[in-house]
Amino acid sequence: MLQTFRNAWRIPELRKKILYTVLLLVIFRFGSVIPVPWINTLALQNWLDGSAGSTLFDLLDTFSGGAFSQATIFAMSISPYINSSIIMQLLCVAIPALERLSKEGEEGRKKITALTRYLTVVLAAVQAYGLFVTLHNKGAINYAQATGVPRFVVGLTIVLAFTAGTAFLMWLGEQITGRGIGNGISMLIFAGIVSSIPTMIHTAWVGFFPKQWWMLIFLVIYTLASIVFVILINEGERRIPVQYAKRVVGRKMYGGQSTNIPIKVAMAGVIPIIFAMSIMSFPGTLAQLFGKPDGVLVSITNFLTTGAIYPILYFLLIVGFTYFYTSITFNPIEVSNNLKTNNGAIPGIRPGRPTTEYISKVLSRLTLIGALCLGVIAVLPIVITMVMKTVDISRLSLTGTSLLIVVGVALETVREVESQMLMRHYKGFLE
């Protein structure tokens, strides 16, 4: 990995992209420490420590790089944008007009992107209001500091600050995707998690040493083993052999070569984890916005985020989103038609529908393996915490879901850098 970035640094164009990405990530980290006015962070942290859905809020705080617990302008992170992307993808499947729009090429994608942005701002405003109501109910709004300022103005300022922070992060992510290195949204989450590593190390040392020194050894071994396992899952693939028929054009013979179709075990990458995490945070937002302390919404949220229900539901969402996202990004019918058009065939499989069914069967089995592996790694720290009650490793940054995202984004970024380097080193047939 280090050698890849060292080689990329020698290419002026890639060096500019790397520096641009780093600059935007630094801006993200600066924004993560800018506080929203009139908020008592001590009262907020006390509520988070005693919250029934602490595992959920800890993950949200990790993804935002500590901005959630400090109530800064980036407290909501990029979750409203992820939720709006999920909603738009579902609507494109359910509504024929949006489905046609998504298939209209570049212009259609631009319109879908614009609709996603508008929806992001709406969801961010709703979630910001819900967060303000929560802070107000928990006594985390310091109205005494806002002397002479009407309470309506205080609330409006806080809601607008949270909403503007999410909108700015959405813009940052799009700039990184378009002009930098890697996927912008994933890079922002990656930066938030990595920035929490020093705090995680301090938490582990203070919490486990010297009374539970064996837990430190277990944590190091568990983290290293998880990293190796995640790399194997991300790099694992099934290669379907393809044979192209020979054809004669004039005096020359074309085709006849053998190749393969690589199908990755974890084709969806870290996207299902991010989708599942965003969905798990949505009921809590609704409960804080519309629920009463003894109301139905709060009871449902507490039921979903405590006990065995939370890891089971989280696991099922990861599996479901893995299948959903894979079905969107890989179309067996299209691959089969391309093979038939180019006189290619899978040995032993007839072209057309049998090829489509064969590819679909292979894809379904690999997706199941990948989904189960992603779900196990994400849920395992929560299960260990529930079993070992006295040890809460799910609160540490670099375990489970966070580890999957960090390793997955790092591998995807390195792969993108290598592909861009390959494009710039390829001289073509004229040389």
Mean pLDDT along residues 146-161? 88
Q: Is the pLDDT of residue 431 over 60?
A: no
Percent of the chain with pLDDT over 70: 84
Mean pLDDT along residues 39-59? 69
CB 297 within 8 A of CB 291: yes
Residue range 235-292, pLDDT digits in tens: 888 888 888 876 666 666 655 677 888 888 888 877 787 778 777 766 766 666 565 6
Q: Cis bond leading into 210, ω under 30°?
A: yes
Contacts of 2 (CB under 8 A, 6+ apart): none
**What local confidence, expressed as pLDDT, does residue 429 receive?**
41
pLDDT band of 105, cuts 50, 70, 90: confident
Q: Is 431 domain-assigned?
A: no
Q: Is 396 domain-assigned?
A: yes
Q: Is 348 domain-assigned?
A: yes
Q: Is 430 domain-assigned?
A: no
The pair of structure tokens assigned to 40 is 């008592």
**What local confidence, expressed as pLDDT, does residue 160 receive?**
95
Q: What is the DSSP letter of 35?
A: B
**What local confidence, expressed as pLDDT, does residue 415 receive?**
83
Q: Is the pLDDT of residue 122 over 70?
A: yes
Residue range 16-45, pLDDT digits in tens: 999 999 999 999 999 888 989 888 888 887
| 0.85 surpassed by pTM | no
**Residue 50's CB: how many other CB atoms inside 10 A?**
8
Report the sign of the C-alpha dihedral through residues 47, 49, 51, 55, in that order: positive
Q: Is 311 domain-assigned?
A: yes
More confident residue, 347 or 165: 165
Q: Domain total for the chain?
A: 1
Q: Is 14 domain-assigned?
A: yes
> Tokens 């069967």 identify what position?
361
Domain that holds residue 117: 2-425
Q: Is 369 domain-assigned?
A: yes
Q: Is 271 domain-assigned?
A: yes
Residue range 299-317, pLDDT digits in tens: 777 777 666 788 888 899 9
Measure the CA–CA gap between 155 and 116, rounded to whole angstroms. Answer: 26
The pair of structure tokens assigned to 115 is 């609709």
Find the CATH number of the domain harbouring 260: 1.10.3370.10
